Amino acid sequence: MEAKDILGQHIPTPEHYNPDVLVAVPRSENRQKCGIRPQLFSGLDIWHAYEASFLLDNGMPFSGILKLAVPSTSENIVESKSLKLYLASFNMERMGSTVESAARRLETTVMKDLLGKAGVPATCRLHPLEPATRDVSDFIPYLPLEDLLDIGRLSAGTYEECPSLLEEDILPAAGEIKVCSRLLRSNCKITHQPDWGTVYIRLSARRLPAYKSLLRYIVSFRNEYHFHEEICEIIYQRLHDLFSPDKLMVACVYTRRGGINICPVRANAPELLPPFLCDLHAITDRSFR
């Protein structure tokens, strides 16, 4: 389906399986506009679809959590509204005689359609709604900047992405920081609805950003209009350019909207990627906020 036929338009939820609603968006558009150099990182876009559902052959429904992983090297991303419509098109489809066979059929179909219709080489795994365990240890060591600083005494007034807000710490010693902020807000470039998230940053370098400047920079995305994946790459690129880090990882864990959340993560070494978030077989908490 052409993007103009679905993006920003009122589209009824498909009543039956319909892969034609999928819309691809080239990554190159924003990367060229914002000076993103994808050769500097590897990463994944992790999607959690908390309302994935279908029918068994006997008419009984099954609902689960579909976790998808899209490599940052893919030419396209899939637009989130189109993915929501696509997954909803399975709701009244009979997918198999057992939960196991129907789940595997769903996974196979989703991967085939995302690659064939959108050129997105995703992998996915369907989980029960309440898995026995949740792994939440990826970001425990990360300290919230707003807890380290007295935000009541910290002024801010720039709400469009501004790299010049980033300043070097007055202490020249090299080191590593693991920090986060729950104050990340950006806006969907299609619907203009706000997107709320937590950003996690691991940075090791000879020069480190001052915490106050880093928090002001994160706040400056408040009136930006980008996809989640683009926000993550912009933050990564600016930190890379300004501080030349030996280690750099940026993860943006957005809250769910319309039953789906998107959690892009970028790093300059694969071992820096958060293992549980990037593992299709692990389900982390729905929100870290």
Third-level CATH fold of 137-272: GTP Cyclohydrolase I, domain 2 (3.30.1130)
Q: How far apart are CA 136 and CA 251, in angstroms?
A: 14
Q: What are the boundaries of each domain within the chain? A: 3-128, 137-272
Q: Which of 45, 113, 138, 195 is catalytic?
A: 195
Quote the distance between the C-alpha of residue 134 and its chain's center. 19
- Sequence length of the chain is 289
What pLDDT score was predicted for residue 136? 63
Residue 195 bears catalytic tag = yes
Tokens 């989980």 sit at which residue? 127
H or E element in which residue 81 lies: helix 80-88
Q: Which two tokens stand for residue 135?
A: 């792994």
Supply 194's token pair.
Answer: 């706000």
Closest to 124 measured CA to CA, from 96, 105, 137: 105
Amino acid at 275: P
Q: Give yes or no for a contact between 221 and 260, defined as CB atoms under 8 angstroms apart.
A: no
Check residue 1 and give its pLDDT: 47
| CB contact set of 18 (below 8 Å; sequence gap of 6+) | 85, 86, 89
**Is the pTM higher than 0.85?**
yes
Residue 191 phi/psi, 5° resolution? -95, -15
**Sign of the torsion angle spanned by Cα atoms 211, 194, 266, 29:** negative
The catalytic position among 34, 169, 188, 279 is 188
Same fold for the domain at 3-128 and the one at 137-272?
Answer: yes
Fold of 3-128: GTP Cyclohydrolase I, domain 2 (3.30.1130)
Q: How far is CA 4 from CA 21, 79, 82, 113, 129, in A?
A: 11, 12, 12, 20, 34
Task: Please tell me the predicted confidence (pLDDT) of residue 283.
Answer: 87
φ, ψ of residue 172 in degrees (nearest 5): -80, -5
116 near 55, Cβ under 8 Å?
Answer: no
d(Cα 101, Cα 207) in Å, to the nearest integer?
A: 53
Structure tokens at 202: 């691991």
pLDDT by residue for the chain (289 residues), tens only, comes to 454 455 556 677 888 999 999 999 999 999 999 999 999 999 999 999 999 999 999 999 999 999 999 999 999 999 999 999 999 999 999 999 999 999 999 999 999 999 999 999 999 999 988 765 565 679 989 999 999 999 999 999 999 999 999 999 877 677 999 999 999 999 998 889 999 999 999 999 999 999 999 999 999 999 999 999 999 999 999 999 999 999 999 999 999 988 999 999 999 999 999 999 999 998 886 554 5
pLDDT for the residue numbered 135: 58
Place of tokens 């683009």: 230
Do residues 21 and 2 touch, judged by C-beta distance below 8 A? no
Determine the Cα–Cα distance for residues 167 and 174; give it in Å rounded to an integer: 15
